[in-house]
Amino acid sequence: MISVIIPTYNRASFLDEAIQSVLNQDYFVRNSSCSFELLVIDDGSKDNTKEILKSFGNNGNKMKYHFQEHKGVSAARNLGLDLAQGDYIAFLDSDDLWKKEKISMQMSFMKAFPKAKVCYTEEIWMRRGVFVNPKKKHRKYSGWIFDRVLPLCLISLSSALFRREVFGETGKFDEELLTCEDYDFGIRLAFKYPVFFLPKPLIIKRGGHPDQLSRKYWGMDRFRVKALEKTLHLDLTPHQEMLVRQEIVRKCQILANGFEKRNNKSEVRKYLSLINKYRPKEQGQKMEEK
């Protein structure tokens, strides 16, 4: 079975298209014997999300709707994982869309490489209805990509397909992080497994709307620093620890500069203190010598 989890919060205007993009998957349409479930986890929506779901019915008992009080996207995804019965897990953010061949191409890959735990795909980006090109820094990589996921969130959850056991081995989503929970999970994932990249664009990421978490919270690196601090508790090699410390220092410097411009002295002191705390030993020694 394949379990598809859509977390949603006040996204009724996007949700119907997201759901339809799952139901239109050629893998499900062609393979009548294929067992799948679609779990829509409503994180306390106050719009007409329930009405949108009613319009689909239960689609032959494949669609399941669950409502929870507003707890955040991590809690919604975690509830979906608790309820999921599939051998494979796929997520779809309610403002994103799947191309119809997305699951079939990923399942072909996973069956061809039974030791692979996760694969993800290239993306098409839209901002306020206009197609845009990702920047060079958003280039995707395949294999052991731990060093590649430290600077930014490289793995879009909407594009990934996981074997179920991944979440028992890496843990689920951190409900204490208000945002960048996917960045945090991506680091733990890339530390544990090789992550395989399929270069064909199989999802459409729709952004630019005001309710996006990336627009709601200024200074996203604040949450990435917390995730990186957590990473230091993993059983890292000395080289991996140095890379994490370097990234913490880099992000803290950006934050300190940003808070300096906003004349927030206490936050400046906080991040300068973290720079001193996490500066790699070799880097600190070189600065002392200078």
**For the segment 116-139, what is each residue's pLDDT rounded down to a tens digit?**
999 999 999 998 878 888 888 999
Spatial separation of the C-alpha atoms in residues 68 and 219, rounded to whole Å? 28
Residue 211: its pLDDT value, please? 62
- Residue 175, CA distances (Å) to 61, 143, 184 in order: 29, 28, 11
Question: And the tokens for 187?
Answer: 């680091």
Name residue 102's amino acid.
K
Residue 237: its pLDDT value, please? 97
- Residue 69, CA distances (Å) to 40, 47, 65, 218 in order: 14, 14, 14, 25
Residue 287: its pLDDT value, please? 42
Grouping H, G, I as helix, E, B as strand and the rest as coil, residue 235 is coil
Pairing of strands 88-91, 161-163: antiparallel
Residue 216: its pLDDT value, please? 60
- Residue 198, CA distances (Å) to 3, 116, 143, 259 in order: 20, 13, 11, 39
Specify the pTM.
0.92
DSSP element (H, E) containing 119: strand 118-127
Task: Look at residue 106 and tell me whether its pLDDT is greater than 60.
Answer: yes
**For the segment 139-195, what is each residue's pLDDT rounded down to a tens digit?**
999 999 999 999 999 999 999 999 999 999 999 999 999 999 999 999 999 999 999
Question: And the tokens for 126?
Answer: 């839209």
Task: Look at residue 282 and tell me whether its pLDDT is greater than 90.
Answer: no
Categorize the per-residue pLDDT at 288 as very low, low, confident or very high, splitting at 50, 70 and 90: very low
Query: Mean pLDDT across the chain, nearest whole number?
Result: 92
Q: What percentage of the chain carries pLDDT values higher than 70?
A: 92
Tokens 């969130």 identify what position?
Answer: 153
**For the segment 5-63, what is each residue's pLDDT rounded down to a tens digit?**
999 999 999 999 999 999 999 999 887 667 899 999 999 999 999 999 988 887 768 99
Question: And the tokens for 52?
Answer: 């949108």
158 secondary structure, DSSP code: G
**For the segment 212-259, what is each residue's pLDDT rounded down to a tens digit?**
555 566 789 999 999 999 999 999 999 999 999 999 999 999 999 999
**For the segment 158-171, what is each residue's pLDDT rounded down to a tens digit?**
999 999 999 999 99
Question: Domains of the chain by range and CATH?
Answer: 2-216 (3.90.550.10), 221-289 (no CATH)
Residue 283: its pLDDT value, please? 54
Task: Look at residue 80 and tell me whether its pLDDT is greater than 60.
Answer: yes
Spatial separation of the C-alpha atoms in residues 39 and 90, rounded to whole Å? 10
